[in-house]
Amino acid sequence: MKLLIPVKRVIDYNVKVRVKSDGTGVETSNVKMSMNPFDEIAVEEAVRLKEAGKAEEVIAVSLGVAQCQETIRTALAMGADRGIHVASDAHLEPLAVAKLLRALVERESPELVILGKQAIDDDSNQTGQMLAALLDWPQATFASELELGDGTAKVVREIDGGLETIDVNLPAIVTTDLRLNEPRYASLPNIMKAKKKPIDELTPDELGIDITPRLETLKVEEPAKRESGVMVETVAELVDKLKNEARVI
Q: Please name which of 154, 131, 203, 122 lies closest in space to residue 49, comparing C-alpha atoms.
A: 154
The pLDDT of residue 155 = 97
Neighbours of 98 (CB within 10 A): 23
The pLDDT of residue 247 = 86
Domain covering 2-244 in this structure, CATH number: 3.40.50.620
Task: State the DSSP H helix or E strand holding residue 183, giving kind and residue range, or none if neither.
Answer: none
What is the tens place of the pLDDT at every residue in 141-162? 999 999 999 999 999 999 998 9
What is the tens place of the pLDDT at every residue in 73-112? 999 999 999 999 999 999 899 999 999 999 999 999 999 9
Distance CA 10, CA 71 (A): 9
- pLDDT of 248 above 90: no
The pLDDT of residue 93 = 93
What is the domain partition of the chain in residue ranges? Answer: 2-244
The pLDDT of residue 134 = 97
The pLDDT of residue 229 = 83
The pLDDT of residue 50 = 97
Distance CA 112, CA 95 (A): 20
pTM (predicted TM-score): 0.87
| Three-state secondary-structure class, residue 91 | coil
